[in-house]
Structure 1
Amino acid sequence: MTPSRILLTGATGFLGQAVLQALLESRPEDTVTVLVRPRGTQTGRDRVERLLTKPVFADWSSRVGDDAVAEAVRTRVEVLEGDLTDLPPLPEPIDIVIHSASSVSFDAPIDEAFRTNVGGVENLYRALLVSGQDPHVIHVSTAYVGGISKGVAQERRLSHAVDHRAESAAAELARERVDAESRTPESLRGFLRQARAQSSRMGPKAVAAAAEAARETHVADRLVDFGRTRAESLGWTDVYTFTKAMAERVAEEEWADTGHRVSFVRPSIIESALRHPHPGWIDGFKVADPLIMAYANGSLTEFPGHADSVLDIIPVDFVVNVILALVDRERAHAEDGRADAAHGDGLPREPEYFHVVSGTSNPLPFHQMVRTVREYFLDRPLPDPDGEPTPVPEWSFPNSELIEQRIRLKELSSRAGRSIVDRLPSSRRTRQWAARLSRIDSGLRSLRQFADLYRQYTKTEMVFDDAATRALQAALPPGHARSFDVTEIDWDRYFKDIHLPAVTELTRSYARKRGRSTARQASPAPIAPAPDALAVFDLDGTVISTNIVRQYAAVVRATQPPHRWPAALAGIAGIVPGLLRAESRDRSELIRMVNRRYKGFRIEQLREVIAGGLGERIRSSIRPQARTLIDEHRAAGHRTVLVTGALEVLVEPLADLFDEVVATRMDVTEAGVLSGYLATPPLVDEARANWLRKYASGIGADLGKSTGYGDSLADAAWLELVGEPIAVTPDLGLYGLALKKRWKVLEW
């Protein structure tokens, strides 16, 4: 057979991986150039070779051997480094282009969707024109490219008058406008209020970073809204189908209308393979899978779909097989050598359109899929967080308005619960409540996202004509190994024996990874010897269970006669509301407020009581777990460091446990009396982080090998510097951050 030279875009994506594997396995005479961008330290070639370790190549490798597969990639795959937004000159010659690269997100920001799906396509076709070549382009689009409609969608050029150039320009302008609006004083004040409420205890830099993050999130959310709303206003379901429609128009104008060949392959919802490269092969969750698994784990108890609408799903290998059939047809034409006077090759010049769908020839009603999925998970229920079987809901397919009311009610209940928990003292129970509320919030966000994004796909009254695709199938020789006849699919068997086991295993794989992370959180790894490592400890709430307010009360009782205790302690009790507000805003403010109460104390008097019973009580308040860890770090050769906002004199009983102790120093008058003012600013939040950087640099310590222990969100700034940050019986702020960043959490 005449070898073909093929350019493939999107080779690292779901469909692209399957296309590349199929070309290499079933077309040994062809060579493939793949457009792959470098990522980080990986070159494009590195990324292609990494594909060999992925499941898409596993069955082929097991049949012919890893060396044979590696040799095929080495000798028949060329890598063109770059991407469609920054396209290098194309190689020559090219016989066929398979364009499968795109952004497949339904809710991408409008400018990003246009830049990739429309601008990238413009770059590709213009590069082909500049190269002077005339390859046949197989352009992968989507069956939903025609937008929201009813009835039969035909395999033909879309009928619309939308100007893709104007829409692309407007998408870029949207970014500029939204970004400029986000930088106005009114907007920035709102972001700052939000940031201060969340991050003020972490320090001013953290507040600034949080404000900027809030601004960037606002910009992204607004651009997502721009994309979704603009798409709907023009009759498309979302920005993905909208931009894919614009991309088709680019291909028609730039390539087909200038006398070149293009075949549009329009698949419906692509899911796991029926046969090739092996049954159930899938690379991550696809469109329908989050919906299925949310139903199976009980978080999606209802969904606003039409029970009798057709859910058009197609196995990925059927899409690949259509592409291969077009490649083979191109080769057959080339071998026949047919020519006509006008074009010299006898091939069709009008663009062709192929719907790769199941809904016309083998329809799958939504209620049938739900019933099949329910039966599967009734027999094989997923475990809930406690290891018990998850009850599988039975959908009644309510209308959208009812679902919206239920979601809104649950969101209000969750916000009320969060408001209550945030006001409670931190404890093991409140942390459990906070974690549960976080899971509920996550589920509600997913539910709303599913309802917003998938509603149109599960309520569609559109059927896709597939006459051209069936004709292409009919032209295959009898017994062809790469059939795409959708009538061969038994949906019950496909879901129960192939697809659902595949996505369930994928879910379990993710759960195992989370489980390993949770296990790491629950118990620290053994402490490894490292002479250049630090073990940095906070004091209050970490090494000892007390705090600076209780320490002050203990000093009062140790230094003053009992009849003076009520007045002294009443004074501190009177400022408790202010202390709580200070603690929620800035820990250094709390330290200053409490230490003001030491005004008039003699430093020698404090040292006397510390040398006596008060020092013994402080020493005895050390948590056993903390003492064990301090000893283990010392045994491993780590330099132990205590950094605290407590008074320097009050931590003297602990000095022998640490190699370095840094505490708050008070201003002392010439008469040896505390003035109530600090001698130096307290080392909290970012100040502690800056001190730690300088300290580690000065003694040659490696923070990446070091461990930090803290209990408060105020500790986050310096905990982020060490390689092993550990939250010890944390407050809710640090607990939430630790869960987000997957830091270890210890409950003492």
Structure 2
Amino acid sequence: MTQTTTTRVLLTGATGFLGQAVLERLLSGSDDIHVTAVVRPKGSQSGEARLKQLLRKPSFKTWRDAVGRERAQEIFDARTSVLEGDLTGLREIAEPFDVVVHSASTVSFDPPIDEAFRTNVGGAVGLYDALRSTGQDPHVIHVSTCYVGGIAKGLRPEAPVDHDVDWQVEYDAAVRAADTAQVESRSPERLESFIQRATSTHGKEGPKSVARAAEEARLEWVRSRLVDHGRTRAQSLGWTDIYTFTKALGERVAEQKWAGAGHRLSIVRPSIIESALRHPFPGWIDGYKVADPLIMAYAKGALPEFPGLPDSVLDVIPVDFVVNAIVALVREEHREADGAPTPRDAQDPAARYYQVCSGASNPLPFHQMYESVRSYFRERPLEDSHGNPIAVPEWKFPANNSMERGLAVKEKLAAAGSRLSSVLPATARTREWTNSLHRMQTGLGSLRTYVDLYQNYTRTEMIFDDTHTRQLDRSLPQDTPEDQHFDVRAIDWRDYWQSVHLPALTEMTRAYTRAKAASRKRAVRSRGLNEGTDVVAVFDLEGTVASGNIITQYAQLRRRELSPLQWPAELTELFGNAPTYIKAERRDRGEFIRAFLRRYAGVPVARVEELMDGSLGRVVENSIRPGALERIEEHRRAGHRTVLVTGSLDLLVSPIAELFDDVVAGRMDQVDGVLTGYLAAPPLVDEARAQWLKRYAQDHGLDLSRSYGYGDSVADVSWLSLVGHPYAVNPDLPLYRRAKKAHWPVEDWRKA
């Protein structure tokens, strides 16, 4: 201890779930502790700003209400400070500390191998090296996990993990693995596969979209490769996943660099941390934790079965029990209580181990937890999107291999359906089928994640000893308030699930659903458009404003030009070239337009103008969809600039030009009044249209963030993405999927 009346604590991971709860308890439970938090900047937000934000979070509400908002702010400002930076970049820690609580950790069980090592191992190395460089001797409380022992059965003691893995060798290998994956991802063969994949899904959007998608595919491949690498390496050495493996190596770093040098070290191993039983209030939780996605997927009917062991002990611990154990170690009150010995490992007297868990003293078999959850949601079911109660399934806990076979079959069917949907025409029925397929794929993806990840925790046969932790709790002074104890035998599990955790979890889920629904509702177009002369409404023609396309335009014109004897031959030739046109359209919209408009070669301009002034013009006018006419008029009443943009020829859209302020269409060269079949400029499609729109807005002083765009094809994505209000109108299936993902409104203009 320093020769002052204030205990100075260095806290890592303060912005996380456990870290913020520890900070709140240190501030609210005593007045003689000062906390310095290691917080890294995030984007433009400084570490200090991120720390100050914590006071406004629900974890501090009970304390804020008790002392008053202003007083809480004064205490927070006076008793906290920030050491800004990342643990891996700490050079030294100049300020003297009595206690260090190291709770920073990756929050993912399946991160890339290099990310897991940098956070869980590199962070520990950076912290202990920085402490040693200043000659300090604080008591370090290193937060780990009960699952550091890897794949095992039986009782797991509060002691060092028995392994001979060299953390430095593994750390260096993980860093090299990331470099190797980056190099492999840039090989010609890999890059060609990424380009092909990107072209198949984004080719119609333009070359830059293809390039972006190819690079995204490369980065996705690298991440997937490193995730697989981490999982496989961990399992090859006897751990279930890279998280538990790197947490075990983080412990070894602490043992070697800190306890091994004669410093005081307490390693705290929580099991699965869930919502608070008592403090700061029953049910407090900060986002979904380990078991919660599984619970909510079950409540939504998305998990018809699960391959867990019904008699496996699901070791869950309320977060306030973990916090109380850490705070007890910070204050070291157990050293003075009734002369009770400090729990230490016999082989390493400088290190102490505390497993804050429930399996040994108050076990919760998986089938009991399942029954508590099932009965809760049978009595209080969630509702589907139509307001109907969701019936929760009854689990039979099948063998893992039978469920795996069934899941694999469903995944193959979903993949086949996805391939089929990419070539189907866009109709109301196929769009609904696409929605159903998307829901099916999402559900299967979630189920795969749960099966691969959670079965490691629901099929375990390990029991974690908590002898040292119970001794620590008994060593607290007799006048310690109940909500500062951590004796797990005080937990009634059925009451905890049904009266504390599940109500909090469902309310958090409903709040998220309400916020999500409100966000989507704001994205839906208001019938009353905001007025403004700096707003443009851009309309695509074919398939959006009009029911026809450049093929039907041509057919209607030639039908009026050819005799009844000539027309069948023209029609036969047109159909004969259809496969070529379809392939061109799928590759590139501009390629298709160029190829098809060559058919106008030799057509007199005067004849086209004559037809547009007569019967063919009336056909064009009648092809305008009722919904389009309504929307165009709405924009004009709001004072918006209306623009029609089309790849069709300007000669063919002249009958409807008066509906818009501007019409931007293709123009074909002519010689002696005869069309040549060659465009005067490249067609204005996909990314070319996006660049045109940027320049058009700049030239006319328009605010694209307030503007509107209407398109029907995935080729329109690049320019629709530029406006603040994009709409998918009678979309093809690729655009429909993009619109649903981005929450763009989808409208049908075929009727008023």
TM tier, smaller: over 0.9
Q: In structure 2, the residue corresponding to 1:52 is in which secondary structure?
A: helix
Residue 436 (structure 2) pairs with residue 433 (structure 1): no
Residue 690 (structure 2) pairs with residue 678 (structure 1): no
Residue 268 (structure 2) pairs with residue 294 (structure 1): no
Equivalent AA in structure 1 for residue 421 of structure 2: V
* Cα offset, 1:283, TM superposition: 0.7
1:444 maps to 444
2:345 maps to none
Greater CA deviation, 38-47 or 370-379? 38-47
Q: What is the 5 A alignment of 1:354-503?
A: 354-481=354-481, 482-503=484-505
Q: In structure 2, the residue corresponding to 1:726 is in which secondary structure?
A: strand
Taking the aligned partners of 1:623 and 1:210, their CA distance within structure 2 comes to 34
Taking the aligned partners of 1:525 and 1:349, their CA distance within structure 2 comes to 73
CA contact 1:707–1:724 (8 Å) conserved in 2: yes
Q: In structure 1, the residue corresponding to 2:378 is in which secondary structure?
A: helix
| CA-to-aligned-CA distance 1:653-706 (integer Å, 9 cap, x gap) | 22222222111111211x211111212110111111121122222333222222
When residues 258 and 99 of structure 1 are mapped into structure 2, their CA distance, relative to the original with a 3 A threshold, is: same
Equivalent AA in structure 2 for residue 23 of structure 1: L
When residues 433 and 518 of structure 1 are mapped into structure 2, their CA distance, relative to the original with a 3 A threshold, is: farther
* Cα offset, 1:586, TM superposition: 0.8
CA contact 1:521–1:746 (8 Å) conserved in 2: no
1:228 maps to 231
Greater CA deviation, 519-528 or 469-478? 519-528
| Unaligned runs of at least 5 residues, structure 1 | 339-347
1:688 maps to 689
When residues 526 and 170 of structure 1 are mapped into structure 2, their CA distance, relative to the original with a 3 A threshold, is: farther
1:507 maps to 509
* Cα offset, 1:522, TM superposition: 4.5
Residue 707 (structure 2) pairs with residue 706 (structure 1): yes
Taking the aligned partners of 2:532 and 2:248, their CA distance within structure 1 comes to 59
Equivalent AA in structure 1 for residue 42 of structure 2: R
Taking the aligned partners of 2:242 and 2:479, their CA distance within structure 1 comes to 40
Q: In structure 2, the residue corresponding to 1:593 is in which secondary structure?
A: helix
Taking the aligned partners of 1:700 and 1:330, their CA distance within structure 2 comes to 69
1:660 maps to 662
Taking the aligned partners of 2:442 and 2:722, their CA distance within structure 1 comes to 28
Residue 247 (structure 2) pairs with residue 254 (structure 1): no
Q: In structure 1, the residue corresponding to 2:88 is in which secondary structure?
A: coil
Greater CA deviation, 507-516 or 138-147? 507-516
Residue 75 (structure 2) pairs with residue 72 (structure 1): yes
2:53 maps to 50
1:539 maps to 541
Q: In structure 2, the residue corresponding to 1:674 is in which secondary structure?
A: strand
User: Given the two structures, how large is their TM-score scaled by the length of structure 2?
Assistant: 0.95
* Cα offset, 1:551, TM superposition: 1.4
Taking the aligned partners of 2:727 and 2:694, their CA distance within structure 1 comes to 18
1:341 maps to none
* Cα offset, 1:594, TM superposition: 2.1
Equivalent AA in structure 1 for residue 703 of structure 2: D
Greater CA deviation, 518-527 or 621-630? 518-527
1:193 maps to 196
Residue 22 (structure 2) pairs with residue 19 (structure 1): yes
2:329 to 326, 330, 338: 326
2:37 maps to 34
Taking the aligned partners of 1:673 and 1:149, their CA distance within structure 2 comes to 84
1:606 maps to 608
Equivalent AA in structure 1 for residue 658 of structure 2: D
When residues 407 and 479 of structure 1 are mapped into structure 2, their CA distance, relative to the original with a 3 A threshold, is: farther
Residue 5 (structure 2) pairs with residue 7 (structure 1): no
**Aligned residues between the structures:** 736
* Cα offset, 1:333, TM superposition: 6.8
Equivalent AA in structure 1 for residue 604 of structure 2: R
Taking the aligned partners of 2:528 and 2:278, their CA distance within structure 1 comes to 46
Equivalent AA in structure 2 for residue 579 of structure 1: Y
Taking the aligned partners of 2:285 and 2:468, their CA distance within structure 1 comes to 27
Equivalent AA in structure 2 for residue 324 of structure 1: V
1:344 maps to none
2:650 maps to 648
* Cα offset, 1:561, TM superposition: 4.0
Q: What is the 5 A alignment of 1:548-563?
A: 548-563=550-565
Taking the aligned partners of 1:91 and 1:223, their CA distance within structure 2 comes to 36
Q: What is the 5 A alignment of 1:715-730?
A: 715-730=716-731
Q: In structure 1, the residue corresponding to 2:695 is in which secondary structure?
A: helix
* Cα offset, 1:525, TM superposition: 6.6
Greater CA deviation, 620-629 or 435-444? 620-629
Q: In structure 2, the residue corresponding to 1:78 is in which secondary structure?
A: strand
Q: In structure 2, the residue corresponding to 1:423 is in which secondary structure?
A: coil
Residue 314 (structure 2) pairs with residue 311 (structure 1): yes
Taking the aligned partners of 1:73 and 1:630, their CA distance within structure 2 comes to 56
CA contact 2:333–2:477 (8 Å) conserved in 1: no
Q: In structure 2, the residue corresponding to 1:569 is in which secondary structure?
A: helix
Taking the aligned partners of 2:550 and 2:73, their CA distance within structure 1 comes to 65
When residues 553 and 210 of structure 1 are mapped into structure 2, their CA distance, relative to the original with a 3 A threshold, is: same
Taking the aligned partners of 2:514 and 2:530, their CA distance within structure 1 comes to 25
Please provide the CA RMSD for this pair: 1.9
CA contact 1:260–1:349 (8 Å) conserved in 2: no
Greater CA deviation, 561-570 or 15-24? 561-570
Greater CA deviation, 371-380 or 26-35? 26-35
Q: In structure 1, the residue corresponding to 2:208 is in which secondary structure?
A: helix
* Cα offset, 1:420, TM superposition: 2.9
| CA-to-aligned-CA distance 1:449-469 (integer Å, 9 cap, x gap) | 111111111111110010000
1:745 maps to 746
* Cα offset, 1:204, TM superposition: 1.1
CA contact 2:334–2:476 (8 Å) conserved in 1: no
Taking the aligned partners of 1:176 and 1:401, their CA distance within structure 2 comes to 36
* Cα offset, 1:17, TM superposition: 1.2
Taking the aligned partners of 2:239 and 2:15, their CA distance within structure 1 comes to 27
* Cα offset, 1:141, TM superposition: 0.3
* Cα offset, 1:728, TM superposition: 1.3
CA contact 2:92–2:131 (8 Å) conserved in 1: no
1:149 maps to 152
* Cα offset, 1:524, TM superposition: 4.3
When residues 623 and 91 of structure 1 are mapped into structure 2, their CA distance, relative to the original with a 3 A threshold, is: farther
CA contact 1:4–1:331 (8 Å) conserved in 2: no
Equivalent AA in structure 1 for residue 35 of structure 2: V
Taking the aligned partners of 2:457 and 2:100, their CA distance within structure 1 comes to 30
* Cα offset, 1:384, TM superposition: 2.3
Taking the aligned partners of 1:265 and 1:690, their CA distance within structure 2 comes to 57
| CA-to-aligned-CA distance 1:136-179 (integer Å, 9 cap, x gap) | 11111000011111111100111110000000000011011111
Taking the aligned partners of 1:513 and 1:534, their CA distance within structure 2 comes to 30
Taking the aligned partners of 1:475 and 1:125, their CA distance within structure 2 comes to 29
Taking the aligned partners of 1:472 and 1:583, their CA distance within structure 2 comes to 72
CA contact 1:81–1:88 (8 Å) conserved in 2: no
Q: In structure 2, the residue corresponding to 1:480 is in which secondary structure?
A: coil
CA contact 2:204–2:586 (8 Å) conserved in 1: yes
| CA-to-aligned-CA distance 1:185-223 (integer Å, 9 cap, x gap) | 111111111111111111111111111111110110010
When residues 283 and 526 of structure 1 are mapped into structure 2, their CA distance, relative to the original with a 3 A threshold, is: farther
| Unaligned runs of at least 5 residues, structure 2 | 342-347
| CA-to-aligned-CA distance 1:552-606 (integer Å, 9 cap, x gap) | 1222234444443323233222222222222221111221222122122111111
Taking the aligned partners of 1:97 and 1:356, their CA distance within structure 2 comes to 19
Taking the aligned partners of 2:518 and 2:296, their CA distance within structure 1 comes to 21
2:124 maps to 121
* Cα offset, 1:379, TM superposition: 0.6
Q: In structure 1, the residue corresponding to 2:381 is in which secondary structure?
A: coil
When residues 150 and 331 of structure 1 are mapped into structure 2, their CA distance, relative to the original with a 3 A threshold, is: closer
Taking the aligned partners of 1:99 and 1:333, their CA distance within structure 2 comes to 24
* Cα offset, 1:394, TM superposition: 0.9
Q: In structure 2, the residue corresponding to 1:663 is in which secondary structure?
A: strand
CA contact 2:273–2:317 (8 Å) conserved in 1: yes
Taking the aligned partners of 1:740 and 1:479, their CA distance within structure 2 comes to 56
Equivalent AA in structure 1 for residue 105 of structure 2: S
